[in-house]
Amino acid sequence: DTAVSQTPKYLVTQMGNDKSIKCEQNLGHDTMYWYKQDSKKFLKIMFSYNNKELIINETVPNRFSPKSPDKAHLNLHINSLELGDSAVYFCASSHLGGGILANGYTFGSGTRLTVV
């Protein structure tokens, strides 16, 4: 059973389009995340949701809009895609106790977004 699953795995699209990436976890975790990995393999957090509530929104263009319909899902919608959005996007989940990440994240396998 896949613990954190993301779809699609690959996404090639033209500049200006709108696209969505879906993420689901079956671990019963209460917190989900979106991370962006650039071409230099640097992992940077974009958003974090705890029990469906947004708790971290890093300096991300407002073209990126996360949505968490329930604790098991966190989707990422991107409007007006730009060349610089090309990257690998990872969804992850964890359980937070008292706001402290005392255990590990579980990551999905990533969505490679290419904007042409």
Residues in contact with another protein by CB under 8 A are 4, 31, 33, 40-45, 48, 50, 55-56, 90, 92, 96, 99-110
Looking at the Cβ atoms of 84 and 104, the one nearer to another protein is: 104
Q: How far is the CB of 80 from another protein (least distance, A)?
A: 26
Spatial neighbors of 37 by CB under 8 A, at least 6 apart, are 43, 44, 87, 88, 89, 90, 110
Task: Give the number of other Cβ atoms within 10 Å of residue 85's Cβ.
Answer: 19
| CA separation for the pair 72, 42 (Å, rounded) | 26
Q: How far is the CB of 109 from another protein (least distance, A)?
A: 5
Amino acid identity of 34? Answer: W
Looking at the Cβ atoms of 38 and 82, the one nearer to another protein is: 38
Looking at the Cβ atoms of 36 and 75, the one nearer to another protein is: 36
